[in-house]
Structure 1
Amino acid sequence: MITAKDIMETNIICVNPDTEIPRAVELLLNNHINGVPVVNEREELVGLLCQSDLIFQQKEMPVPPIFTILDSIFPLFSSKKIDEEFKKLSATKVEQAMVSDPVTVEAHTPVSEIASLMVEKHFHTLPVVDGKKLLGVIGKEDILKTLIPKE
């Protein structure tokens, strides 16, 4: 059975929470990767920054639907959601745009389970961890490589 340990990339390109957004974009584009793990000073995974998190910055801020009753204004969705969207739209550092609790897999996770996660949840990048320690990264290409017969 092929596991995460067998296909993960261990030469990992990482950023830290204080990395500037333009630098993170350069890393993604120059290395042709969809996502990059965010690690703290102890090399522990604290988040994941994906292309979609950065593309989010290019969308327009939604105007929340409101209704009025007796001259009072009531939003139809929570201000917490608006605050989160505004924070992502205005991000200048990775910490403000990253997913802070990313889905991860362990070294012994079977490739079939990793493939299911990627397909069902639309993930392109999955960090491989041991506790909080980042061991490697698996991208969709790593899964595809398992389909090539070994000679």
Structure 2
Amino acid sequence: MRIAKEIMAKKVVSVKADLPVEKLAGILWSHRINGAPVVDDDGQLIGVVTESDLVDQNKKFHIPTAISILDSVIFLDRAKTVEKEISKMTGATVGDICSREPVTIREDTPLDEIATIMSEKKVHTLPVLKNGTLVGVVGKADIIRTLARG
């Protein structure tokens, strides 16, 4: 069974949190990637930003559903969810729209576990860490390429 170290991209295209969102699309497109790790000035992983985060900026806003009972208004959507959605839609920098709790894997994570994580957590860009340091990225294209090569 192959492991992350064997299939990961070692030349990691990462971005900083202060990068304007308008520039992110160009970076993802020019490198033909669907996401990138977000790093601080010391190169430490602080999040992941993906094409989906960019797409979310252009979607219609869902007005929270509410019901009125005895002069009280009860919102059926959670306030934090609505706040997060508004924040992503109005974000100006990568730091505003990225996921701040990225799902990561180790170099020795087997392919079947990587696929399971991607499927269950609905993520397609997995930073690979070695002793807490970013050493690579596994994207869904890396898995498809590995499967195609047998």
TM-score (norm 2): 0.90
RMSD in angstroms over aligned alpha carbons? 1.6
Q: 1:3 is matched with which residue?
A: 3
Query: Alpha-carbon deviation of 1:66?
Result: 1.4
* Distance of 1:66 and 1:51 partners within structure 2: 31
Q: 2:40 is matched with which residue?
A: 40
Identity of aligned residues (%): 38
Any idea what the Cα deviations from partners look like across 1:103-131, whole Å, max 9, x if unmatched? 11001111221122223333221110124
* Distance of 1:29 and 1:65 partners within structure 2: 36
Query: Alpha-carbon deviation of 1:71?
Result: 3.2
* Distance of 1:20 and 1:91 partners within structure 2: 9
Q: 2:114 is matched with which residue?
A: 114
Task: Name structure 1 gaps, 5 residues minimum.
Answer: none
Q: What aligned pairs does 1:53-68 form with structure 2 within 5 A after superposition? A: 53-68=53-68
Q: 2:126 is matched with which residue?
A: 126
Q: 2:103 is matched with which residue?
A: 103
TM-score (norm 1): 0.90
Query: Alpha-carbon deviation of 1:92?
Result: 0.5
Q: 2:20 is matched with which residue?
A: 20
Q: 1:74 is matched with which residue?
A: 74
Regions of 4+ moved over 6 Å: none
Q: How many pairs align?
A: 149
